[in-house]
Amino acid sequence: MVVTGLTFAVGVGLVTALIATPVWLLGGISLRTLIAGVLRFSVVSCLIGVGFSGLLALTARGRPFDRLSLPLFAALGAGVGFLYFLFMGFMGAFGVWSLASAITNLVLVTVAGGGSATAILLVARRGRPQLKAGDDLQDPDDT
């Protein structure tokens, strides 16, 4: 679960940096604001990733990645993003946000969650299993 959270954090952090860097270069934000934004989105994405991993463990039930659907992954990621949005709101953000800010935050965290989950499945599917069912776990050189 922790590795999934860290993967979400790195992926969303990179995307945030790619989006914010041109704004910084054009003078729209300071370097400090850019770094703070990347860190903030990375921490949030890590929490979303851990929650996603927990939901995945409950719903996938040991199925291999090639048997899991991309829409299921995206929905789980977006669902966890939505839960995080509700958490932020109930922790006091609903009293501070304008309607436009609330909608923007809702879209950002649900898209970040769904997009990160989709990316994780695509990366996981590219990996090749080292062992197949029925393979001996003992190294042949140890005998």
pLDDT tens profile 74-117: 998 898 889 889 988 888 888 898 999 999 989 988 998 788 78
In contact, 53 and 1? CB cutoff 8 Å? yes
User: In this structure, how many other beta carbons lie within 10 angstroms of the beta carbon of residue 50?
Assistant: 19
Q: Indicate whether 73 pLDDT > 70.
A: yes
Task: Note the pTM of the prediction, 2 decimals.
Answer: 0.65
Q: Higher confidence at residue 7 or residue 131? A: 7
Q: Indicate whether 36 pLDDT > 80.
A: yes
pLDDT of 136 reads 62
- Chain centroid, CA 129 distance in Å: 23
pLDDT of 66 reads 75
pLDDT above 70 covers what percent of the chain?
89
User: In this structure, how many other beta carbons lie within 10 angstroms of the beta carbon of residue 28?
Assistant: 11
In contact, 23 and 41? CB cutoff 8 Å? no
Q: How confident is the model at residue 57 (pLDDT cuts 50, 70, 90)?
A: confident
